[in-house]
């Protein structure tokens, strides 16, 4: 879903980012989830979100989210954002949208490389020695 939320997220490593961050302790995690009141362990939120997305996607059209056409994915995310998916079972849909979108923004735009891609000077006091 990251790629559908922010183009370039797959190549920027959004799956690795989330996998790696849910494997460390909550106090060390760099995830937006910690800012928006998701209770640790954060892996539970992501597991619940993925399961709910695929279940809702299958209920709507018989296919998991990853198997949807790009236009279908866009429509699904639009419904997810507005909490309008019938029978949604999982973490609050709006929160799922917000957190996953933030994760994708982080890896695509929030790194030094991401700033450079937008033509924005990064200007660090102390530069991160790795992306995450």
Partner 1 sequence: MATQEKVDVVIAGAGASGSTFAAVLAKAGKKVVLIDNGPDWQLTDLISSDMWGRRIKPAGPPFILEGKQVAPIGYHGGWGVGGAALHWFANVPRLLPNDFKIKSEHNRAHDWPIAYEDVAPWYDKVAHDIGISGDAKAEELWRPAGRDYPMPPMRTFKNGEVWLKGFAANNIRMVPAAVAMNSTDFKDRPACIYDGWCHVGCPIGALANPLVTYLGEARAAGAEVRAWSTVTRVLTDASGKKATGVEYFDRDGEKHVQPASVVVCASWAAQNPRLLLNSATDKHPNGLANASGLVGKYMMTHITAVTNAMFDDDLEGAKGTIGGQFMSYERYSKTAHKGAFGSTLLVCGGATKVSGLTGIHNARPDLFGADLAAFMKRAVKGFTRFTAACEEQPKIENRVELVTQKDEFGMPLARIVHNYDDNETALWNANFEEGLKIAHATDAKDVWQMRTAMPAIHLMGGTIMGTGAANSVVNSFGQTHELPNLYVAGPGIFPTCGASNPTYTVFALSLRAAENLASNWGAIAG
Q: Which residues bind partner 1 (CB under 8 A)?
A: 4-8, 26-32, 34-37, 39-40, 74, 77, 81, 98, 101-102, 105-106, 109-111, 114-115, 118-128, 132
The sign of the dihedral angle between the CA atoms of 66, 70, 76, 81 is positive
Nearer of residues 26 and 50 to partner 1, judged by Cβ: 26
Nearest to 13 by CA among 128, 117, 120, 114: 114
Q: Distance (Å, rounded) from C-alpha 108 to C-alpha 86?
A: 31
CB closer to partner 1, 42 vs 88? 42
Nearer to partner 1, 62 or 126 (CB): 126
Minimum CB–partner distance for residue 96 and partner 1 (Å): 13
Minimum distance from CB of 18 to partner 1 (Å)? 12
Cβ 88 vs Cβ 52: under 8 Å: yes
Cα 123 to chain centroid, rounded? 26
């Amino acid at each position: 879903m990251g790629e559908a939320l922010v183009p370039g997220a797959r190549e920027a490593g959004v799956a690795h980012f989330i996998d790696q961050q849910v494997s460390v302790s909550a106090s060390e995690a760099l995830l937006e989830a910690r800012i928006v009141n998701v209770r640790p362990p954060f892996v539970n939120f992501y597991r619940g979100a993925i399961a709910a997305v695929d279940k809702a996607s299958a209920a709507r059209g018989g296919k998991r989210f990853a198997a949807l056409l790009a236009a279908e994915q866009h429509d699904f995310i639009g419904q997810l954002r507005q909490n309008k998916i019938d029978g949604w079972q999982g973490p609050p849909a709006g929160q799922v949208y917000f957190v996953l979108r933030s994760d994708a923004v982080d890896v695509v735009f929030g790194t030094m490389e991401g700033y450079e891609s937008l033509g924005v000077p990064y200007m660090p006091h102390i530069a991160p020695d790795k992306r995450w």
